[in-house]
Chains A and B, each alone.
Chain A
Amino acid sequence: MSFLSVNFAIFLAFGLLVFHLTGARWRPHVLLALSYAFYFSWGLVHTLLLAVVTTGVYATAMWIEGCRSERRKRALVAVAAMSLVVLLFAFKAGQLLSAKFTNGASLEGLGATMLLVMPLGLSYYVFRMIGYLLDVYWEQLPAQHNFVSFALYGSFFPQIVSGPIQRAEDFFDQLPKLNKPTTSDFVVGLRRILLGLVKKVIIADQLAVVAAAAHANPSGFSSLELLFAAYCFAFQLYADFSGITDIAIGIGLLFGVKGPENFNLPFFSENIQIFWRRWHMSLTSWLTDYLFMPLRMSLRQLGTAGLCLAIFFNMVAVGLWHGLGLNTLAFGIINGLYMIVSVLTLKHRNEFFQTRPNLVRIRAVAGTLITFHLIVFALIVFRAHGVRSALSYLIRLVPGLYPTTIPAFRFKASLLNIDTRSLLGIAICLIIAEAINWTMQQRSWAARFGSTPRLVRWGLYYASIALLFYLYKGSINFIYAGF
Chain B
Amino acid sequence: MQASDSTRSENSWRQLCLRLAVFCLPIVLAWSALEYWATRVPPNDLYSLKHERLEAMANEVDTVIIGASSASMGVAPELLTGSAVNLANEGEDLYYTDALATQVVPRLPKLKRVIIQIHYNCLFYCISESDTAWRQSYYAQEWNIPPVHLIDWLNCQTWSRVAFRTPRFWLLNAKNVFQDWRRTGKFTPGSVETNRIDRRGREVGGETFLRRDLSPAGVANKLALIHRRSSVENERDNIKHLDHLLSVLREHNIEAVLVTLPVWHTFEEAQKADYWNETLKVVAQRTNNLNVSYYSFLSLPQFSPEDYADANHLSSRGAMRFTEMLNSALNQGKQSSDAKRTVTPTNSAL
Q: Chain A interface (Cβ within 8 Å of chain B)?
A: 5-7, 10, 20, 102-113, 180, 182-183, 186-187, 458, 461-462, 465, 469-474
Contact = CB atoms under 8 A, between A and B. Distances in A.
B157 A6 contact: yes
Nearest to B219: A103
B171 A6 contact: no
Given A182-B9, A469-B171, 13 more contacts: A6-B156, A7-B163, A10-B156, A102-B224, A104-B224, A105-B220, A105-B227, A107-B224, A107-B228, A110-B228, A180-B9, A470-B167, A472-B166
- Which of B12, B166, B220 counts the most A-chain CB atoms under 10 A from its CB? B166
A106 B223 CA distance: 10
Given A105-B220, A183-B12, A187-B16, A465 B27 contact: yes
Given A6-B156, A105-B223, A105-B224, A110 B129 contact: yes
B129 to A, nearest CB: 6
Contacts of A110: 129-131, 228-229, 231
Contacts of A471: 168
11 contacts: A5-B163, A104-B224, A104-B227, A104-B228, A105-B227, A108-B227, A109-B227, A462-B26, A469-B30, A470-B171, A473-B168
Contact of B230 (A20, A109, A180, A474): A109
B155 interface: yes
Name the prevailing secondary structure of the B interface residues.
Answer: helix
Interface of B: 9, 12-13, 15-16, 23, 26-27, 30, 129-131, 154-157, 160, 163, 166-168, 171, 220-221, 223-224, 227-233
A472 B168 contact: yes
Contacts of A473: 166, 168
Contacts of B156: 6-7, 10
A471 B30 CA distance: 16
Given A102-B221, A465-B27, A470-B168, A107 B227 contact: yes
Given A108-B232, A113-B228, A472 B167 contact: yes
List of 9 A-B pairs having minimum Cβ-Cβ separation, nearest first = A109-B231, A103-B224, A6-B163, A469-B167, A183-B12, A103-B220, A105-B224, A183-B16, A113-B228
Nearest to B13: A183
Contacts of B26: 462
A60 to B, nearest CB: 35
Contacts of B131: 110
Contact of A109 (B30, B168, B228): B228
A187 B20 CA distance: 10
Nearest to A470: B168
A362 B160 CA distance: 56
A105 B225 CA distance: 8
B233 A109 contact: yes
Contacts of A187: 16
A110 B129 CA distance: 7
A442 to B, nearest CB: 25
Contacts of B232: 108
Contact of A108 (B27, B166, B168, B230): B230
B168 A469 contact: yes
A180 B220 CA distance: 58
A122 B9 CA distance: 38
A110 B227 CA distance: 8
Nearest to A184: B12
A421 to B, nearest CB: 17
B221 A103 contact: yes
Contacts of B154: 7
Nearest to B162: A6
Nearest to B133: A110
B270 to A, nearest CB: 8
Contact of A458 (B23, B130, B167, B171): B23
Given A469-B167, A469-B171, A108 B157 contact: no
B135 to A, nearest CB: 14
Contacts of B166: 472-474
A112 B124 CA distance: 14
Contacts of A458: 23
Given A7-B156, A470-B167, A472-B167, A111 B231 contact: yes
A319 to B, nearest CB: 29
Contacts of B130: 110
Given A6-B160, A458-B23, A473-B168, A186 B227 contact: no
